[in-house]
Structure 1
């Protein structure tokens, strides 16, 4: 989003053999969608798919299949049948499996099963937090622990929440198909928000040894393209896709060869993906004049200004500041306010930006607030305040590259003499 984006922003056998973990993550929602479409039983189907993924993780490195997706569907289907047969109502379950196996929900030409699954998880029978959690788990491929971290709840609490959501989807009798056209718009806000969260986790991971998870970002972009194709006149769907493309375009330059974090101001812009930038700018340029811009369109416009600047010092900060002020009116929140403070600082100086951080108590335990404060204090000529803030930010950061970067920034500032 802003200059300190790394603080404030948050098949083929060859493919499987080259990177089986990435292949499994990308294929998981597609396989789950195919199995649910074929057999129903959403709750049991996810268990079966998870077991198929575990089997693939064991077998693929040494013996990759010719068609990974078909292999996973076959294994998951067999495991689903086994799970259903193990139920006390054995005979009834076997008859259900047999019937469903021979009366398959038709696959709609041009429709991706994972897109159908996405809209199904955002069913209005579920509460908004359950919609988000279930979609992140089933479509986004996040683990239950990762979803729990996103919601700031214990893992066992999230496991129960997701389990209840699956049961409600099952009880609703919802067919595995895209909702009627008149219902799609009602679910779209949740769908777009979920894709935004999935992309954010891919763009900057919340935990782990790597700053980014490109597989998640790529899957979010793929699904965003599908949503836009389904709803070509929706301006926010276009805005979200543009935002993803413009942000992901910087991926290669955001880390050095050793995996360390490179802030936007220091990135080699020749490594930015020019094709993605051109596509994103063209998309948001066509979208903005068509109506009152929503939050995703405004964020995409900000990202476009960053990507269009040939160098960091050429960034149009006054315009970015104005866009953040508009975004604060349309979609207020602590992260928007944090990025606005950065933009104010870059446009008018730290004396005006620093006071804007004081009211962001909701981010007191978020490393991004302290990292931004540290940078602004450095700009304001308070090295010791900056050093303390960098160390606080490092202690709160979730990934190893972030911690190393923030500790390194603190180490560059000499301790004051007693």
Structure 2
């Protein structure tokens, strides 16, 4: 009955927060009751809301996002596969907190360990998998910090793979960094969402039940991940993700006061994004943007087109987008089709929102010596009349 009341409370909170965001025509400045928070659109990486976004805080089990990322990258590289068997070490089996109670030398498939981490936040599974990937636990922590550096995470330092509390405060991350690693994980390895969206699962031939620690996937439309966290120092944290109408958002809240609060504040963030912003394709690949001059070419001009699509997250009533073409100072033959010759910049109220490369739409050969000489003479003579 207590769990049912708790879940009903969360449902009511989520519904009310949704109504407040969607129905109110005029709102006070939007804010979140969390120490730190961020809202990011997953495909473009555009940031839609921040609060104390670079503050270094204990991330608790949200740490496991990096563990999952390294594991999925090891699978992609061929280093391991989902059917590989992992043998739990004494150290892995000694982990406290959330766990699947691995016994020393117990054998378990990689996929089962990944499910246990993604669904139930199992610390022992996290350590066993890290040792399997890196050969030793310390090597895996080194890999975590190296990958953090590669991703440009400036406010993160890992000293374990679980997020279990440390006395010296040396294990930390920020809402910004967590959003970046979350984006890398779900964009490059969407398979993870198959696990993080599972509410209840069973392992060990049905003898052990995994319960998802993220209640949001049960109640919030489109929610399918990603990772909760809690310790006394970290408070209640959640890196959440949801997808609606082709747009995926990532929200991170850190150091909220309760399980209900981390769900409510995450829902508020996601509601804010889905109600106020749209993901729009503002440039299509292959758009004709005119011609530019080519020096020393058989043809004196070349058609230019956009090299790729450009999507931007815009406010739902966004208008007055401006296009500005910026070309290389001098384009000289020979030119090959597809060669980048400049960029198309999208602006709104003089603020740059994004850009896309411009490419030559055709080949242009260099003119022969006689043609180039004749043009020089012609331009010299015409110069007198100007």
Shared fold, TM over 0.5? no
Structure having the larger proportion of residues in strand: 2
> If the TM-score is normalised by the length of the shorter chain, which range does it land in?
under 0.3
Larger Rg: 2
Structure having the larger proportion of residues in helix: 1
TM-score (norm 2): 0.26
